[in-house]
Structure 1
Amino acid sequence: MSDHDNTTLHDRVTAEVPPELDVTDVQYEGPDLVIYTNTPREFAKDGDILSTLARTLRKRVTIRPAPGTQSSPSEAEAKIHEIVPDDAGIQNLDFHSTVGEVLIEAKKPGLVIGSYGQTLREITQAIGWNAEVIRTPPIESSTVENVRNFLTQERDERREFLERVGEQIHGEPTKDVDWVRVTTLGCCREVGRASFLIHTPNTKILVDCGDKPGAEGEVPYLHVPEAAPLNSIDAVVLTHAHLDHSALLPLLFKYGYDGPIYTTEPTRDLMGLLTLDYLSVASKEGRTPPYSSEQVRKAIKRTIPVKYGDVTDIAPDIKLTMHNAGHILGSAVSHFHVGNGFYNIVFSGDIHYEPTRLFNGAVNDFPRAEAMIMESTYGRRNDYQTDTDESEQRVHEIINETYEQDGTTVIPAFAVGRSQELMLVLEEAMREGDIPTMPIYLDGMIREATAIHTAYPEYLRDGLRQRILHEDENPFLADQFQQVDGGQEMREEIASDDPSIILSTSGMVTGGPIMSWLELLGPDADNTLLFVGYQAEGTLGRRIESGRTEVSLNGRGNADRLTLACRIESVSGFSGHADRAGLEEFVGEMNPRPETILCVHGDDQATDQLSSALYQKYNVRTYQPKNLETFRFP
């Protein structure tokens, strides 16, 4: 940013604040406008000043004390404990003098913040430090702890990075915005390797960068001229953490990208968890991992978290707003406002339109949305999911019938999303006597992913959020849930023991601990393998669901091939994706409705049939793109 721009910005801010408030410096850090002041206590007295500044300047605004204006950390610590009620359960205070911030970790952050932020303002008034509050997860999460510690260690370098990004974002666009293009780099007429490029005369934004389940080596087309070289990309937006959207993000940093990733906070943590596991699985299966754990850390370090509903500048000519997608924790429908009112594009990501036990339904209310890139996973004519109550009833029946045969029910499940949904269903069913109380074993990353859910209750459905915040009502803490942490030996004990329920990754039977459970329990007709999630084409899960009983375990155990004798069942209704009716409703209830819709993230039939239906029903232009097509708007 030039001195002239900085002076102008400083003058604008000074003009907006009362004369008794001293502004020493103004600078951008990423999308945020940071105001340094010698009078932090005075700023804190006025509860409306921040929101007024944000509205007037149309920026996210942070106030920071200038060095030397704060109490000493020991004085500040005593004062914080004096102001904040004991019930808040403060666990840790972390002072960062370079930026004048204190990070307060508490079991009940709401009590630290106070009504309308009153307690936080009182803290700043008393000590001069800017206070940030984070929640202690009700279930200990090594991922959340590691990410927080890592970002704390990297704070100074991260600040330099944010200043660099801030200069890029808040510079003037060099060219008029009179077009915007979207190029499909994956995920068209297929499920997996989601990746799209938004291109304006000034800017390139990559949306998602995933792998394709069951198809090793099929990666997004990142080498094409639109995307290459990767350091020509200005920013990356991640809609959610599932590997078909996030797996190859760290690869970008291996090949020259060094810019920001915009996503929600829980998606950042889950992306770290899932990509590190992705490397671990590749290594165990004798494949060469496509990147290293160092690149995963780089991706985490370069992530700029975005809250639902916050309008965020991510380029000189693009603003991003993320909204709840109802799919998994932190998943987002991403709205891009291009140019100064020029054009608006929505990426649905993966959506669930109706509320579930875990999440409120996807948001489809935007001021403007001229074009939409929309998922079509269940877009076929007959892709109607069973009513949730019916689905749960069917799961109860299958578990009861298996239990009566002295058998065990094995449920392959995604670590993130379906597992937590099933945990809520099973906990309630046992509590209410609909199924017998028995151990529910969690294998793979399910327990850790559940802990991350409890760290971010504000992203969960309203009623569930309240239950998690009251320890004695937290359904995820039920005694039945037991982690499989003893490896193969423990699995063999469980398999030979009394009836139980096993939730195990991977959800599409493409590797991981589910392979052990197939080997141990699959040959016994008393046991049940129960599918509750989407099985993509090319995966072992799809082949078994389609009736294949002779399966290959890729060299595991004594025999490569195995004959399944167990009962195979599938129950729809637990998917994190909207069914055909939900997809149609999502579009039908939008106001205004998009003029153009690209149907992606579905196989050939699903994208074709949804595209036709939306055109006929709502008279909008629809397309069923192939990979490597470019669409110009308007």
Structure 2
Amino acid sequence: MSTVDKQLEDVKATIDDEVPRHISVSDVTYEGPELVIYTRDPKEFAADGDLVRRLASKLRKRITVRPDPDVLTPPTRAEQAIRDLIPEEAGVTDLDFYEDTGEVVIQAQKPGVVIGRHGATLRDVTREVGWTPEVVRTPPIESSTVDNVRNFLKQEREDRRDILERVGRQIHRDPMSDDEYVRITTLGCCREVGRAAFILSTPDTRILIDCGDKPGAEGETPYLRIPEAFGAGANGIDAVVLTHAHLDHSALVPLLYEYGYDGPIYCTEPTRDLMGLLTLDYLDVAAKEGRSPPYGSEMVREAIKHTIPLEYGDVTDIAPDIKLTLHNAGHILGSSICHFHVGDGLYNVAFSGDIHYDDTRLFDGAVNDFPRVETLVLESTYGGKNDYQTDQDDSERKLKQIVQNAYDRDGKVLIPAFAVGRSQELMLVLEEAMREGDIPEMPIYLDGMIWEATAIHTTYPEYLRDSLRDRIFDADDNPFLADQFHHIEGGDDERADVADGDSCIVLSTSGMVTGGPIMSWLEHLGPDPDSTLTFVGYQASGTLGRRIQRGRDEIPINGDGNGRSDTVSLDMNVETVDGFSGHADRQGLENFVRTMNPRPEKILCVHGDESATQDLSSSLYHDMNLRTFAPQNLETFRFR
């Protein structure tokens, strides 16, 4: 008998001792980080609202209770009973029954109403029909990405269960070494922006944190082939943890499955969906530009199938000696600061990913209150000594003035923007400005993936600020459904018509002018001196966006994939509006560290160009008396 099987026998014995005699426990197994209890008496389990909580506290495990299939109410009868139990205002749109696990997935416009106070309605459902309910939100704006992910996972349910059982056994295996150490190896994004990737290792475990590309630098990928990473084989990695979905952190995650990796990815649910959206577009853009994609779309599906979503604040076992907790990073939808608790109190490490410390229209600011943190790996995108961004109110005033000036000239405003995060922030600013009469009403065209990314935001309003979430719940007040917004669906012909038309605002991907529909817009609007190109986000070194900011006035268009291209003269005005970035500026980064509870002993300053990481490292050392480092790629730090 394996050690995991013996452990499960012991767990079952403990459960049998704790559970009342009239409640049967037929099986106990691991699925990913969760302990799954099968019972022939699901209604009695549900009747004791504290029983699962007591078991979870006793066993120190996340617990799911599932009924044996032969005690379930038939789906046709169960559906009617469930609809009778759930208040009509919940807006139930669909129910899916899965007899293999005894789960019923309830899709509703208002999941909170389905759940009920402290989960009371869900317990009523189980008491009435035996099925274990799971609740998902019906998107207020239809999202093909969310639909595709949910349908795919439904089709792959049996495979996914096998994956989860295998991962569960891996997590709960016995430690193999008596040694104790914690190491971090840098595989990318050190003294540079992009290709984020790190290995967190102990004698028993190796965790890969992020795996992204480098904007504007084709072929510069993380150093995955070194011995600390995939040099000894792809399955030497126990788990992947993804801080957020931007491509400089996620683009090459599906490549891991091409290499033979077959393990889990941990991230929030919106990060999973956005990763699918952005990586599929990444492949599409590469193909259109004549570049060879690094992996196929089937690897994106593998990544989604292997993803285990976590919610903020949930402490989760991901290895025998590592617990993971995700916290809001304030950067984009679902972005996380990843806190790792290593060993039995041995060491604690937090990876910031990308953070925004102050509140924005979309998100609350980044969390910096932790039980323990000895080492912080901190982004430094705006860590330079002069990297102070404009106050948000001033930034909004400047943007509105740019729009007004272009309108007065009968021109247009073209804004390169990331599909996820900045676009939605700008949509809120522009919608309010037009609603309150601060700028004239005019069409706002959304190109690339912006509309689809916006739909995903409305699917997960619990990750947004409370005031915005409440507006999204009200169909008549949802700001993203304002009449001004128009989705570009007709390709280049529609873009040409818009360019020849009246004053308008265009939000288009890609945000760093590295390809995508922004190139078509520059071809149409670049020669127009009455129009304005407005940068609102970070432009990485080596990108066309950075070169335009520095004065380049000829733009390569229609590259043929062989290094040849035409050029367009850039006669439109060029403006940069600071303050809309999803990254904390120098002051925000310093404040994040200064107010951390507890304050870390060591900080690794990463994800910034060389001067930014060194400036921030030096400042934190001198001002806060911390041990700080500005590592290079391929360095390893041992902490215990």
Answer whether TM exceeds 0.5 for this pair: yes
The answer as to whether partners of 1:83 and 1:123 remain within 8 angstroms in 2 is: yes
Partner of 1:382: 386
Q: 2:386 aligns to what SS in structure 1?
A: coil
Out of 101, 115, 119, the residue aligned to residue 117 of structure 2 is 115
Q: 1:119 aligns to what SS in structure 2?
A: helix
CA-to-partner distance for each residue in 1:25-54, whole Å, 9 max, x for gaps? 111000000011111001111222222222
CA-to-partner distance for each residue in 1:573-614, whole Å, 9 max, x for gaps? 000000001000111101211111000000000000000011
Q: Distance in 1 between matches of 2:292 and 2:565?
A: 24
Out of 477, 485, 492, the residue aligned to residue 481 of structure 1 is 485
Q: Distance in 2 between matches of 1:387 and 1:317?
A: 43
1:559 Cα deviation from its structure 2 partner: 6.8
The answer as to whether partners of 2:593 and 2:599 remain within 8 angstroms in 1 is: yes
Q: 2:442 aligns to what SS in structure 1?
A: coil
Out of 139, 142, 154, the residue aligned to residue 141 of structure 2 is 139
Partner of 1:626: 632
CA-to-partner distance for each residue in 1:220-246, whole Å, 9 max, x for gaps? 000111112222101000000000000
Partner of 1:498: 502
Aligned residues: 634
Matched, 1:459 2:442: no
Q: Distance in 2 between matches of 1:87 and 1:551?
A: 53
Partner of 1:416: 420
Q: Distance in 2 between matches of 1:206 and 1:602?
A: 20
Q: Distance in 2 between matches of 1:542 and 1:281?
A: 20
1:174 Cα deviation from its structure 2 partner: 1.2
Q: What's the RMSD between the two structures over aligned residues?
A: 1.2
Matches within 5 A, 1:395-544: 395-544=399-548
The answer as to whether partners of 1:357 and 1:421 remain within 8 angstroms in 2 is: yes
Partner of 2:13: 11
The answer as to whether partners of 2:290 and 2:560 remain within 8 angstroms in 1 is: no
Structure 2 counterpart of 1:621, one-letter code: R
Q: Distance in 2 between matches of 1:510 and 1:390?
A: 28
C-alpha change, 1:488 and 1:556, in structure 2 (3 Å) is farther
Matched, 1:233 2:237: yes
1:17 Cα deviation from its structure 2 partner: 2.4
1:78 Cα deviation from its structure 2 partner: 0.7
Matched, 1:333 2:364: no
Out of 101, 104, 114, the residue aligned to residue 102 of structure 1 is 104
Q: Distance in 1 between matches of 2:22 and 2:348?
A: 41
Partner of 2:173: 171
Q: Distance in 2 between matches of 1:554 and 1:176?
A: 59
The answer as to whether partners of 2:607 and 2:613 remain within 8 angstroms in 1 is: yes
1:627 Cα deviation from its structure 2 partner: 0.1
Partner of 2:197: 195
Q: Distance in 1 between matches of 2:558 and 2:599?
A: 48
Q: 1:288 aligns to what SS in structure 2?
A: coil
Out of 600, 609, 620, the residue aligned to residue 615 of structure 2 is 609
Q: 1:472 aligns to what SS in structure 2?
A: coil
Q: Distance in 1 between matches of 2:428 and 2:513?
A: 22
Partner of 1:83: 85
The answer as to whether partners of 2:276 and 2:304 remain within 8 angstroms in 1 is: yes
Q: 1:78 aligns to what SS in structure 2?
A: helix
1:258 Cα deviation from its structure 2 partner: 0.5
1:177 Cα deviation from its structure 2 partner: 4.8
Structure 1 counterpart of 2:68, one-letter code: A
Q: 2:97 aligns to what SS in structure 1?
A: strand
1:15 Cα deviation from its structure 2 partner: 2.0
Structure 2 counterpart of 1:477, one-letter code: L
Q: Distance in 1 between matches of 2:222 and 2:489?
A: 35
Structure 2 counterpart of 1:124, one-letter code: T
Q: Distance in 2 between matches of 1:428 and 1:242?
A: 27
Matched, 1:366 2:370: yes
Partner of 1:212: 214
Q: Distance in 2 between matches of 1:76 and 1:241?
A: 38
Q: 1:473 aligns to what SS in structure 2?
A: coil
Q: 1:152 aligns to what SS in structure 2?
A: helix
Q: Distance in 1 between matches of 2:178 and 2:509?
A: 49
Partner of 1:182: 184
1:63 Cα deviation from its structure 2 partner: 0.6
Q: 1:68 aligns to what SS in structure 2?
A: helix
Partner of 1:549: 553
TM-score for the superposition, normalised by structure 2? 0.98
Matched, 1:315 2:345: no
Partner of 2:256: 252
Q: 1:175 aligns to what SS in structure 2?
A: coil
Partner of 1:581: 587
1:176 Cα deviation from its structure 2 partner: 2.6
Q: Distance in 2 between matches of 1:234 and 1:555?
A: 41
1:343 Cα deviation from its structure 2 partner: 0.3
1:20 Cα deviation from its structure 2 partner: 2.7
CA-to-partner distance for each residue in 1:133-178, whole Å, 9 max, x for gaps? 1000000000000000000100011001100000010111111351
CA-to-partner distance for each residue in 1:262-292, whole Å, 9 max, x for gaps? 0000000000000000000000000000000
1:547 Cα deviation from its structure 2 partner: 1.3
1:256 Cα deviation from its structure 2 partner: 1.0
Structure 2 counterpart of 1:230, one-letter code: A
Structure 2 counterpart of 1:159, one-letter code: R
1:21 Cα deviation from its structure 2 partner: 2.3
1:86 Cα deviation from its structure 2 partner: 1.4
Which segment drifts farther, 43-52 or 541-550? 43-52
The gaps in structure 2 that reach 5 residues or longer are none
Structure 1 counterpart of 2:171, one-letter code: I
Out of 565, 570, 585, the residue aligned to residue 564 of structure 1 is 570
Q: Distance in 2 between matches of 1:176 and 1:525?
A: 69
Q: 2:555 aligns to what SS in structure 1?
A: strand
Q: Distance in 2 between matches of 1:64 and 1:224?
A: 43
CA-to-partner distance for each residue in 1:298-347, whole Å, 9 max, x for gaps? 00000000100000100000000000000000000000000111000000
The gaps in structure 1 that reach 5 residues or longer are none
Q: 2:426 aligns to what SS in structure 1?
A: helix
Which segment drifts farther, 5-14 or 112-121? 5-14
Q: Distance in 1 between matches of 2:519 and 2:218?
A: 18
Structure 1 counterpart of 2:625, one-letter code: N
Q: Distance in 2 between matches of 1:368 and 1:20?
A: 42
Q: 2:571 aligns to what SS in structure 1?
A: coil
Q: 1:551 aligns to what SS in structure 2?
A: strand
